[in-house]
Amino acid sequence: MSMTYQEYRESYAGQLELKGEARGEARGRAKSVLELLEMRGLEVRDAERERILACTDPEEADRWFTSAFSASRVEEIFD
């Protein structure tokens, strides 16, 4: 018996896939945050870089990205 796409998404495997997609989105956005900070000439310390790259929450990564446009120091994006 085959399952519909909706049934698959609601299944355990589907939930794992969704988590993986979210992590991938967050990781991509985190890389964009770093690129933006570096393009703006802000010094990104190793601990900050690690924190940004460890992000698995797409919403948090989006907030950091938005904050990176106006931050005068990298620490400000985490507020």
Residue 14 lies in a domain: no
Please indicate whether residue 17 or residue 2 has the higher confidence score (pLDDT). 2
Of 1, 63, 53, nearest to 28 by C-alpha is 53
**Count of Cβ atoms closer than 10 Å to residue 69 Cβ:** 10
Residue 19 lies in a domain: no
d(CA 19, CA 37): 27
Identify the pLDDT of residue 14.
Answer: 66
Residue 1 lies in a domain: no
Residue 64 lies in a domain: yes
∠ CA 61-35-24, nearest 5°, is 40
Identify the pLDDT of residue 61.
Answer: 93
Residue 2 lies in a domain: no
Number of domains composing the chain: 1
Q: Render pLDDT for 11-64 as a digit per residue (tens, 0 to 9).
A: 776 676 767 776 778 888 999 999 999 999 999 999 999 999 999 888 999 999
Q: Which domain holds residue 74?
A: 24-78
